[in-house]
Amino acid sequence: MSDESRLREKICDLARSMFDRGLTAGSTGNISARTADGGLLVSPTGTSFGRLDPARLSRFDARGNHVDGDRPTKEMPLHLAFYETRGRTAAVVHLHSCHAVALSALPGANADDFLPPITPYAFMQLGRVKLLPYFRPGDPAIGDAVRGLAGRRSAVMLANHGPVVAGLDLDGACNAIEELEATSRLALLLRGTTPDMLSPAQVDDLVRLHEIAWGDA
């Protein structure tokens, strides 16, 4: 099996795993990964994470031309913005995960630091998550908003829509977006209480120890 065939299978396997665990539903969500020749494999428009076909993934060449497979997700501007501004990006995942969307709809969210410092894992995998305002799905302005971050964030939360994570590899992107959803769930469970959060000193220690500069600036 070629490297690209293995990548196609892995995209579909990871997407199916997220679908089976309720991290995105119906035909929502999209996923892409960089190929060895500098091109992209992308989930097609209107497809379910639970039923992606490796042979029908959209294929782009290194110049950004759609050369094979079904028509790509309408969120291509969002994906391309991460690849263009974060040169080390090898995969991008976008979900409509329930708890993250719910948290984004509540008042008082910190747009510059969307996730509260409940556990160390969100910082270790995501850095600080930027909350972006609502955009119509597929709106090219989403890509412009990501470009406006100038590559300083690996993860954004689209208000009333869903999280997006860019990773150094496909596994890392999927793991990180699952951590974003898990932390959002914790934040909702703790809402209305006065929990002990990580202190600024503890957060600084994580940033220093894990060299989280790639996830934030």
167 DSSP assignment: E
Q: What does the block give as tokens for 155?
A: 């993860």
Count of other CB atoms within 10 angstroms of residue 48: 16
Residue type, 145: A
**Is there a contact between 87 and 103 (Cβ–Cβ < 8 Å)?**
no
Question: What is the rounded CA–CA span in Å between residue 188 and residue 134?
Answer: 20
152 DSSP assignment: -
CA dihedral 124, 82, 52, 179 (to 10 degrees): 20
Burial class from Cβ neighbours inside 10 Å (0-12, 13-18, 19+) for residue 30 reads: buried
Question: What is the rounded CA–CA span in Å between residue 8 and residue 23?
Answer: 20
- Please identify every residue annotated as catalytic: 75, 121
